């Protein structure tokens, strides 16, 4: 029986539409009113497009679970590109039907609705599987009233457009089509962003990749030759997202996969000569982001599950550290569980000797610290972690020891990560025993872990709170009990407002002014008559006594040759002031941009000093400090001509709403990294960007933006630099500097390092450690790409 017959049959018996009906896919005519398909075991219920490239119908996913889907029907994989009911599979015998009154609905065998195409039914005349992969409901004039292209799941196909706002949601696992943990969203304001979700809710965390704001009236388009881009209503390309140039000889699709990567795939259609070198399988031709492991850092578990770590080879993969195994190997994003009995916290039976470490280089779980020690040896770090029953992992990096608690989150193993992880495991490998001595403590932890993975947001929040309190309590106890090397620290002095008023002679001599503070010169009225710089922070600073004190003491604990030392503070009534040592040679801005200019070798020393100071802030001091406002005005020069970074840590003193809004971006125009404008996570890489600009200014002795440049191409330093570099005309940048011109090898090397630092894609920028190693010549500098290539690729 074919579809034509079915149509007349049902036309005659208008109300007899419940008769199950089976097609075998050979027919290529459209669904008419009253026709249906029934889910059967042999996967035979589907309807092909005229060319046979695509089919619409039922696919059996589980023994009694069918997916109503669209798939590529000419390839053995029969890859699914759209589905209606991923979260709610249909049992055998379910039926998709275009009812006589124009409703298109999926019902289970008892007639209960599972899904329906929400279209106005009145004028629906037929449904059709088109050759593009679009499944449509149409009226008599073939005007589409509903399209699967308008309700995408995780895949888009050539000729498909997404209009604002719309999104793709990754599936849960490769074979589970219910909503997963990542989203690709074209927002109303034109942003195109990738997000992790607050699974199992579908609300999102911070974007881990995002384009600049475009505005309204844009759409995402996948054209036939394999370009996926945002275009304006007049058709002009605003931003390329993925681009392969492929011919009609390939099937194509782009999918936000369950691992959070948006990939474009090709599959050769036949064996014409142009596709001979391609395997008969889907091949990835392009994808974003380039390395998801190193860019996702969020509340939640990160790109992988809790207690696991992410490693990008060709694809990102999630792994468990030694001593841990996947909770569910078929769902690795669920994370890993510990396989041994935890250490006893009973002081009578310390068990220290029963545990040892597995070492992993270049691995970290950045958000799981509960304690940090500096100026210690690796051996000390190991012993401290062994004697601490809360310590699950210790990270050792250049004299610093971080202790990590479970569940470990945002794990990453990547060459860009410095330091080594020491995973604490029980030596005898004994596995968890339900009635073991540690039963109680361990099971609580596991409950917390599993509840966190599977329960509601509120409960998670409460539990997190509980864990946090527990850890906080412990941390307190710990630092009093086992810390044999007290951290070298300078006692901060607490000044009264009156003292500082006197010291500055009534705030007489102003030596600087910024967006949120004015700086005055002063002299301490004690024996040494030391000069000081007093910074009067204005109302943009957070109120809240405790917070101010906590931040100030974090700044006070820093101590490095390339930082300006904080001496004290005043926190009295509405007054918030910070007191620094005074730098008599002023800032790098006046040093660099006024005559006589520092010579090439002095500039190299300043570049190195600033890099060392930043490296200390990022990786070596007890709490990581992101400066957020690196620029020549904030690098001071001391009387030995050494660069000293000032104003670090102040970003954290600002009211939170000021740190992130586009109207009040922290940092200074010309030096701020593009991610400030793109609602991407703010990481240490924003400082690397600003450092890159500063380095270019040091090389060329000119400002990052020179409105009065001789010609237009030279106005923006970064653009001009890349032009000079590309055209091999770097000597232009040091034109009147004979000393530098004699040292062109180094000039070129420094320019290349700076270009790496100013890459638009934060993940391409090196860490400050790498920057320093390159500056010092410890490692080679690879040829940098065009810094803006990221902008044009997303
Ligand atoms: C099937 O539906 C499509 C879309 O409405 C239409 O273009 C096509 O002519 C129809 N084919 C037949 C055989 O009715
Ligand atoms: C897919 O995963 C979800 C979320 O964990 C689960 O509820 C559902 O049962 C799974 N579906 C299948 C078919 O396994
Ligand atoms: C698709 O877009 C690319 C990039 O703009 C363009 O080069 C190509 O000609 C387009 N292809 C078609 C078929 O329009
Ligand atoms: C198309 O629109 C974009 C954005 O609205 C605009 O920048 C561009 O100049 C327009 N192009 C043409 C050819 O009108
Ligand atoms: C897309 O890629 C093709 C070839 O790979 C290239 O010719 C074309 O210029 C690219 N288009 C854009 C806008 O990047
Ligand atoms: C591809 O080649 C095989 C054998 O070489 C042949 O059997 C098959 O028909 C060819 N397919 C197409 C689509 O040309
Ligand atoms: C514990 O496991 C590790 C790694 O699987 C193995 O090398 C070691 O021999 C095991 N130790 C014991 C005591 O079984
Ligand atoms: C161990 O625990 C199980 C259930 O948790 C219990 O049935 C069993 O009696 C316990 N065994 C011992 C020796 O306590
Ligand atoms: C305080 O902030 C305002 C703007 O927020 C600024 O105009 C003013 O100069 C600042 N005052 C001081 C004393 O820095
Ligand atoms: C300032 O820097 C210069 C070197 O540029 C140095 O000779 C001098 O001693 C420094 N100190 C003062 C107070 O100028």
pLDDT at site 697: 95
> Has residue 660 got a pLDDT over 50?
no
pLDDT at site 491: 64
Give the Cβ contact number of residue 682 at 10 Å: 21
Residue whose C-alpha is closest to residue 330's, from 274, 264, 258, 433: 258
pLDDT higher for 288 or 438? 288
- The proportion of the chain whose per-residue pLDDT surpasses 90, expressed as a percent, equals 44
Ramachandran assignment for 235, one of left (phi > 0), alpha (psi -120 to 50 degrees), beta (any other): left
pLDDT at site 144: 92
Ligand 8 atom closest to the Cα of residue 435 is: 1
**Residues 542, 654: contact at Cβ < 8 Å?**
yes
pLDDT at site 430: 61
pLDDT at site 440: 35
Q: How far apart are CA 437 and CA 351, in angstroms?
A: 12
pLDDT at site 609: 92
Given 629, 647, 737, 761, which residue is catalytic? 629
Q: How far apart are CA 419 and CA 395, in angstroms?
A: 7
Please, where are the H alpha helices in 539-582? 545-556
Distance 428 CA to ligand 7 centre (A): 7
The residue behind tokens 């195409």 is 117
* Residue 225 in contact with ligand 3 by CB distance below 6 A: yes
pLDDT at site 102: 86
Q: How far apart are CA 107 and CA 130, in angstroms?
A: 24
DSSP code, position 467: H
Distance 237 CA to ligand 3 centre (A): 10
* Reported pTM: 0.57
Summarize the confidence of residues 431-442 as an average pLDDT: 41
Q: Report strand pairing: 355-361 vs 420-426.
A: antiparallel
> Has residue 275 got a pLDDT over 80?
no
Ligand 4 atom closest to the Cα of residue 236 is: 1
pLDDT at site 753: 96
Q: How far apart are CA 76 and CA 251, in angstroms?
A: 13
281 contact partners, CB below 8 Å, separation of at least 6: 77, 267
Q: How far is CA 82 from the centre of its chain?
A: 27
Residue nearest to atom 1 of ligand 6 (CA): 271
**Residues 35, 104: contact at Cβ < 8 Å?**
no
* Residue 248 in contact with ligand 3 by CB distance below 6 A: no
629 catalytic residue (yes or no) = yes
Structure confidence by residue, pLDDT tens digits, 366-410: 878 888 888 889 999 999 999 999 999 999 988 889 999 999 999
**Residues 791, 212: contact at Cβ < 8 Å?**
yes
Structure confidence by residue, pLDDT tens digits, 593-649: 888 889 998 899 899 999 999 998 998 777 788 888 899 999 999 887 889 999 887
> Has residue 312 got a pLDDT over 60?
yes
The pair of structure tokens assigned to 62 is 């589980």
DSSP per-residue letters across 223-279: -TTSEEEEE-TTS-EEEEEEE----TTEEEEEEE-TTS-EEEEEEE-S--GGGTTS-
Summarize the confidence of residues 324-341 as an average pLDDT: 92
* Residue 142 in contact with ligand 1 by CB distance below 6 A: yes
Give the confidence band of 352 by pLDDT, cuts at 50, 70, 90: confident
Q: How far apart are CA 611 and CA 621, in angstroms?
A: 14
pLDDT at site 734: 92
Q: How far apart are CA 537 and CA 650, in angstroms?
A: 10
Pick the ligand that lies closest to the CA of residue 793.
5
Mean pLDDT, the chain, as a whole number?
A: 81
Distance 341 CA to ligand 7 centre (A): 14
The pair of structure tokens assigned to 117 is 């195409």
Give, in degrees to the nearest 5, the angle at Cα 104 between 103 and 108.
115
Give the Cβ contact number of residue 704 at 10 Å: 23
Distance 598 CA to ligand 10 centre (A): 11
> Has residue 490 got a pLDDT over 70?
no
**Residues 60, 66: contact at Cβ < 8 Å?**
yes
**β-sheet with 227-231: strand ranges across:** 161-163, 219-222, 227-231, 237-243
pLDDT at site 92: 93
pLDDT at site 258: 95
* Residue 84 in contact with ligand 1 by CB distance below 6 A: no
Residue nearest to atom 9 of ligand 3 (CA): 225
Structure confidence by residue, pLDDT tens digits, 143-187: 999 999 999 999 999 999 999 889 999 999 999 999 999 999 998
* Residue 491 in contact with ligand 4 by CB distance below 6 A: no
pLDDT at site 82: 97
Structure confidence by residue, pLDDT tens digits, 215-264: 777 899 999 999 999 998 888 888 888 988 777 889 999 999 999 999 99
Q: List, in order of start, the domains of the chain with CATH numbers.
A: 25-150 (2.90.10.10), 152-290 (2.90.10.30), 326-426 (3.50.4.10), 434-479 (no CATH), 482-582 (3.30.200.20), 586-794 (1.10.510.10)
Q: Report strand pairing: 309-312 vs 411-413.
A: parallel
Point out the least confidently predicted range of 39-48, 451-460, 785-794: 451-460
pLDDT at site 527: 64
* Residue 30 in contact with ligand 1 by CB distance below 6 A: yes
pLDDT at site 257: 96
The residue behind tokens 């070596």 is 620
Pocket of ligand 5 (CB under 6 A): 227, 240, 243, 245
Structure confidence by residue, pLDDT tens digits, 206-216: 778 877 666 77
Summarize the confidence of residues 644-664 as an average pLDDT: 60
Phi and psi torsions of 765, nearest 5°: -70, 140
Point out the least confidently predicted range of 10-14, 212-216, 280-284, 576-580: 10-14
Give the confidence band of 554 by pLDDT, cuts at 50, 70, 90: confident
The pair of structure tokens assigned to 17 is 């539409």
pLDDT at site 461: 38
Residue nearest to atom 8 of ligand 10 (CA): 639
Summarize the confidence of residues 689-700 as an average pLDDT: 95
Pocket test for ligand 2, best of 63, 87, 88 (most atoms within 8 A of CB): 87
Pocket test for ligand 1, best of 98, 123, 128 (most atoms within 8 A of CB): 128
Point out the least confidently predicted range of 74-83, 648-657, 738-747, 776-785: 648-657
Distance 76 CA to ligand 6 centre (A): 14
> Has residue 2 got a pLDDT over 90?
no
Residue nearest to atom 10 of ligand 5 (CA): 243
Give the confidence band of 690 by pLDDT, cuts at 50, 70, 90: very high
pLDDT at site 713: 82
Q: How far apart are CA 119 and CA 414, in angstroms?
A: 48
The pair of structure tokens assigned to 580 is 């620094």
Give the Cβ contact number of residue 759 at 10 Å: 24
Give the confidence band of 467 by pLDDT, cuts at 50, 70, 90: very low
Positive or negative, the CA dihedral 163, 167, 170, 175 is negative
> Has residue 436 got a pLDDT over 60?
no
The residue behind tokens 């930043």 is 614
Environment class of 353 (CB within 10 Å of its CB; exposed 0-12, middle 13-18, buried 19+): exposed
Residue nearest to atom 2 of ligand 3 (CA): 227
Pocket of ligand 10 (CB under 6 A): 584-585, 639, 641
> Has residue 474 got a pLDDT over 50?
no
Query: Does 535 count as an annotated binding residue?
Result: yes
> Has residue 792 got a pLDDT over 80?
no
Q: How far apart are CA 317 and CA 326, in angstroms?
A: 13
Distance 584 CA to ligand 10 centre (A): 8
Residue nearest to atom 4 of ligand 9 (CA): 515
Positive or negative, the CA dihedral 720, 724, 725, 731 is negative
Point out the least confidently predicted range of 7-11, 257-261, 288-292, 416-420: 7-11
Q: How far apart are CA 296 and CA 208, in angstroms?
A: 6
Can you tell me whether residue 484 is helix, strand or coil? coil
pLDDT at site 434: 41
Distance 672 CA to ligand 9 centre (A): 20
């Amino acid at each position: 029986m074919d579809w034509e017959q079915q149509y007349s049959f049902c036309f005659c018996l208008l109300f007899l539409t419940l008769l199950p009906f089976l097609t075998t896919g050979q027919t290529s005519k459209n669904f008419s009113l009253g026709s249906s398909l029934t889910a059967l075991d042999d996967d035979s219920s589907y309807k092909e497009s005229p060319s046979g490239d695509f089919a619409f119908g039922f696919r059996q996913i589980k023994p009694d679970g069918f997916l109503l889907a669209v798939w590529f029907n000419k390839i053995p994989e029969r890859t699914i590109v759209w589905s209606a009911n991923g979260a709610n599979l249909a049992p055998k015998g379910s039926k998709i039907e275009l009812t006589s009154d124009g409703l298109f609905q999926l019902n289970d065998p008892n007639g209960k609705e599972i899904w329906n195409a929400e279209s106005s039914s009145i004028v629906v005349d037929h449904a059709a599987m088109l050759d593009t992969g679009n499944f449509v409901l149409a009226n008599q004039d073939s005007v589409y009233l509903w399209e699967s292209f308008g309700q995408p799941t995780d895949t888009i196909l050539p000729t498909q457009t997404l209009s604002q706002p719309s999104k793709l949601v990754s599936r849960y696992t490769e074979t589970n089509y219910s909503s997963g943990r990542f989203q690709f969203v074209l927002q109303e304001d034109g942003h195109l962003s990738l997000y992790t979700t607050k699974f199992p809710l579908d609300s999102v965390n911070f974007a881990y990749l995002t384009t600049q704001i475009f505005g309204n009236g844009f759409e995402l388009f996948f054209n036939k030759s394999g370009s996926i881009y945002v275009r304006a209503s007049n058709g002009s390309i605003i931003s390329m997202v993925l681009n392969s140039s492929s011919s009609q000889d390939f099937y194509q699709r782009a999918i936000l996969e369950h691992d959070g990567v948006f990939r474009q795939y090709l599959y050769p259609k036949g064996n014409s000569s142009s596709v001979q070198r391609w395997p008969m399988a889907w091949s990835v031709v392009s994808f974003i982001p380039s390395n998801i492991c190193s860019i996702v850092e969020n509340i939640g578990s990160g790109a992988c599950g809790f207690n696991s770590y992410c490693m990008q080879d060709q694809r990102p993969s999630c792994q468990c550290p030694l001593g841990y195994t996947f909770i569910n190997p078929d769902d690795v994003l669920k994370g890993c569980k510990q396989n041994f009995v935890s250490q006893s916290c009973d002081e009578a039976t310390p068990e220290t000797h029963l545990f040892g470490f597995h070492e992993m280089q270049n691995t970290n779980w950045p958000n799981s610290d509960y304690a940090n020690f500096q100026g210690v040896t690796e051996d000390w770090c190991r012993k401290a972690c062994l004697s601490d029953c809360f310590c699950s992992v210790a990270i050792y990096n250049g004299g610093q020891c971080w202790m990590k608690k479970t569940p470990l989150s945002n794990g990453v193993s990547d060459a860009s990560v410095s330091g080594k992880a020491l995973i604490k495991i029980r030596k005898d490998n004994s596995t968890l025993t339900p009635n073991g001595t540690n039963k109680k403590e361990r099971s609580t932890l596991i409950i917390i872990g599993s509840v966190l993975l599977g329960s509601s947001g509120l409960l998670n929040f409460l539990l997190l709170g509980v864990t946090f309190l527990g850890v906080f309590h412990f941390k307190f106890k710990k630092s009093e009990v086992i810390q044999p090397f007290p951290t070298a620290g300078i006692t901060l002095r607490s000044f009264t407002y009156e003292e500082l008023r006197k010291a500055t002679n009534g705030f007489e001599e102003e030596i600087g002014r910024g967006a949120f503070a004015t700086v005055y010169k002063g002299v301490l009225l004690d024996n040494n008559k030391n000069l000081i710089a007093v910074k009067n922070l204005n109302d943009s600073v957070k109120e809240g006594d405790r917070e101010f004190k906590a931040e100030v003491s974090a700044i006070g604990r820093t101590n490095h040759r390339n930082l300006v030392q904080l001496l004290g503070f005043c926190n009295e009534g509405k007054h918030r002031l910070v007191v620094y040592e005074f730098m008599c040679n002023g800032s790098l801005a006046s040093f660099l941009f006024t005559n006589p200019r520092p010579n090439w070798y002095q500039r190299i020393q300043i570049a190195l000093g600033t890099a060392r100071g930043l490296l200390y802030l990022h990786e070596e001091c007890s709490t990581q400090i992101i400066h957020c406002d690196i620029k020549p005005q904030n690098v001071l020069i001391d009387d030995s001509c050494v660069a000293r970074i000032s104003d670090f840590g102040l970003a954290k003193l600002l009211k939170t709403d000021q740190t992130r809004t586009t109207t009040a971006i922290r940092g200074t125009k010309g030096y701020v990294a593009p991610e400030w404008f793109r609602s991407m996570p703010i990481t240490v890489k924003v400082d690397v960007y600003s450092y890159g600009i500063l380095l270019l200014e040091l090389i060329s002795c000119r400002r990052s933006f020179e409105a009065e440049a001789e010609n237009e191409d030279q106005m923006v330093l970064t653009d001009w630099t890349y032009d000079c570099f590309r055209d091999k005309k770097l000597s232009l940048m040091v034109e009147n500097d004979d000393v530098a011109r004699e040292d062109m090898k180094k000039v070129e090397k420094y320019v290349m390092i700076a270009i790496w630092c100013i890459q638009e894609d934060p993940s391409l920028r090196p860490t400050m450690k790498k920057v320093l190693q390159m500056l010092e010549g410890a490692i080679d500098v690879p040829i940098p790409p065009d810094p803006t290539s990221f902008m044009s690729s997303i």
